[in-house]
Structure 1
Amino acid sequence: MKKVLSIFLILFPVFFLPDLRAQQPPMSKEEFRSRQQEFITRRAGLTQEEAQKFFPLYFELQDKKGKLNREAWQNMRQGKDPNTTEAEYARIVEDMIQARITNDKLDLEYVRKYKKFLSAKKIYDIQKAEMRFHRELLKSAHHGEKGRPGNKEKR
């Protein structure tokens, strides 16, 4: 009986106390973009002039892609209805593929805009930094505030 009680007392905080990380307020859009801009600027080695030209276009692209993705998710939610017909599923599937194609076309359009003031190497470095930022952001969900992107030095 003492063993059971001891195990219960040890495990009680794990199962019944709220996770402290869950109490952190979510990052605002402005904070997210600020951290992302700082991270990408540092990791890609952008000059101040390059960053001033790049980020307005970059965030414009992100807004367009965000709108497109929200619309695509709305279409996907229609498929949750148990009365969805086969024709509706076919339309949903095609709409999802079209959304990905449109996203890719937007990426290409904006890369061409970036090429007017950035080298291909800088664009590559930006894309690499962006992927790293998102990877660290996902990791931070498991490690709390200290793991948020931008808080670590370049590796």
Structure 2
Amino acid sequence: MKKLITLYILCLFVPVLQAQESKHEKIKALKVAFITEKLALTTEEAESFWPIYNSYDDTMHKLKYEEMGKIKRTLKETPLESLSETRAKKMYQEWLSLENHMCSNRRNMLTQLEAVLPYSKIMMLQRAEWEFHRKLIDQLRNEKRKGKERKK
């Protein structure tokens, strides 16, 4: 009976997990197209750039959404008045460590890019990332507004 219940629960969550993964993949594809257009990479630059950037991006995704997500979930699930100073300190240290790891990952990617791109394109990458995130947030806000308007 336990196996049947476990199987049933898995069947419920697999489509949700697949939807989340496909959403991430769609966003990633849009980001690749956006950055490619903004940076106007040559063939040689693209061949060197994308492996470096994809490795960086995959690591950042894991750190932000998996590792940092654990801390966020714990904070949401734990009533603040019951959070002990010892537990808070441990969570703080984990958070600080993740922040340092994300900075280190970014610094490492930029250092690697110095060998394959001119500095002007590295700076255009920063701008392209900002613009992409801004457009993504704006699009999500518009979709949320449209959803609220449909409910009225």
Same fold by TM-score greater than 0.5: yes
Deviations 1:92-130 (A, max 9, x none): 122112211110011111111111111111111011101
Give the equivalent residue in structure 2 for 1:93.
Answer: 92
Whichever residue aligns with residue 54 of structure 1, its letter is: F
Distance 1:31 1:108 in 2: 26
Give the equivalent residue in structure 2 for 1:43.
Answer: 38
Deviations 1:36-83 (A, max 9, x none): 111111112222321222122211111111222221220232233234
Whichever residue aligns with residue 62 of structure 1, its letter is: D
Distance 2:43 2:96 in 1: 37
Paired residues in the alignment total 120
Give the equivalent residue in structure 2 for 1:17.
Answer: none
Aligned sequence identity (%): 24
Which runs of 5 or more structure 2 residues have no equivalent in the other structure?
A: 1-18, 144-152
Is 2:28 the counterpart of 1:33?
yes
Give the equivalent residue in structure 2 for 1:81.
Answer: 78
Whichever residue aligns with residue 81 of structure 1, its letter is: T
Normalised to the residue count of structure 1, the TM-score between the two structures is 0.69
Give the equivalent residue in structure 1 for 2:137.
Answer: 138
8 Å Cα contact 1:43/1:125 also seen in 2: yes
Structure ranking higher on relative contact order (CA contacts 8 Å, 6+ apart): 2
Question: Which has the greater radius of gyration?
Answer: 1
Ranges of 4+ aligned residues in structure 1 off by more than 4 Å: none
1:62-73 superposed matches below 5 A: 62-69=57-64, 70-73=66-69
8 Å Cα contact 1:40/1:129 also seen in 2: yes
Distance 2:97 2:125 in 1: 26
Which runs of 5 or more structure 1 residues have no equivalent in the other structure?
A: 1-24, 145-155
Q: CA RMSD in A?
A: 2.0
Distance 2:118 2:59 in 1: 24
Give the equivalent residue in structure 2 for 1:59.
Answer: 54
